Amino acid sequence: MVEIAQNLFTTRRGSMLVGATAAVLAGIVLLVYLHSYRNSVNSSAAPASVLVAKSLIQKGTPGNIIGTSDLFQVASLPSKQLQTGALVDPAALAGRVAISDIYPGQQLTAAYFAYAPAGTLQTRIAGSDRAISISTDAQHGMLGQIAAGDHVDIFIGINLKSIGGSQPVIKLLMADVLVLKAPIGASGQLTLRAPLRQAAELAYAADNGRMWFVLRPASGAKTPNPGIINAQSLLTAKPVR
């Protein structure tokens, strides 16, 4: 009987130890779960930075223009409110173009943008800038020598009409104009970037006169005003040494 009692006591003691161990393990699991849940809640509530439209961003707006202008602002939102693909760095906009209108307050996400093909003109103009193409030839446009990215001065030759007849004159029309595209052959079109008013002047000059495109130095270029060049000023000008 004593031996049986001892066996029962040992069995009962083992069961109690197993139960206690199970309870401890359950408690540990519960603590780990609660800790993980608390971290998850804290993480979702933690503030995160995101780019938000400050004003209307129209479809077709280049990302690099958005990133360097006043079209966006950096907002701080709880992490759980960030949309999928939310952009947090303006550098991520480089080389992209908006494929739909983005309204004020909307988060900038990858879904609103597509990568623009290399050389897309829209990535090179903004605000009052316009792109305009002017037909020219190798003599007047230095075609084959001027390339995209170069800066040129533009002279206009026109017949100035008066009561006594007409007089051909040449003057500097505009200086330091960016070439967006240039043909490789001896004839074709130069695509230039110019403010709206100057784009209109270029259009008038192309229809009513002859233009010369003169390459500027890559750095340190100066723009002295040569004034009006006509037969009289040409004949009376002092030789340049």
pLDDT tens digits along 93-145:
888 889 999 999 999 999 999 988 766 787 788 778 999 999 999 999 999 99
Tell me phi and psi for residue 73, to 5 degrees. Answer: -145, 160
- Percent of the chain, pLDDT > 70? 80
pLDDT surpassing 70 at residue 31: no
Minimum mean pLDDT range among 30-39, 43-52, 58-67, 162-171: 30-39
pLDDT for res 225: 87
pLDDT surpassing 80 at residue 46: no
pLDDT for res 240: 66
pLDDT surpassing 90 at residue 180: yes
Summarised one tens digit per residue, pLDDT across range 207-230 is 999 999 999 999 899 988 888 888
C-alpha pair distances (Å), 77 with each of 52, 60, 80, 179: 10, 27, 8, 43
Q: Give the chain's mean pLDDT.
A: 83
Summarised one tens digit per residue, pLDDT across range 57-68 is 998 888 888 887
Q: Which residue has the higher pLDDT, 186 or 111?
A: 111
C-alpha pair distances (Å), 174 with each of 33, 131, 188, 215: 72, 15, 21, 12
pLDDT for res 9: 47
pLDDT surpassing 50 at residue 234: yes
pLDDT surpassing 50 at residue 86: yes
CA distance 112 to 125: 20
CA distance 77 to 86: 11
Please give the average per-residue pLDDT across 61-78, as a whole number. 86
CA distance 138 to 144: 7
Q: What is the DSSP string of the chain?
A: -HHHHHHHHHHHHHHHHHHHHHHHHHHHHHHHHHHHHHHHHHHHHSEEEEEEESS-B-TT-BHHHHHTSSSEEEEEEEGGGPPTTB---GGGGTTEEESS-B-TTPBPBGGGEEEPPTT-GGGG--TTEEEEEEEEEHHHH-BTTB-TT-EEEEEEEEEEEETTEEEEEEEEEEEEEEEEE--SSSEEEEEEEEEHHHHHHHHHHHHHSEEEEEEPPSSS--------B-HHHHHHSPPP-
pLDDT for res 143: 93
pTM (predicted TM-score):
0.64
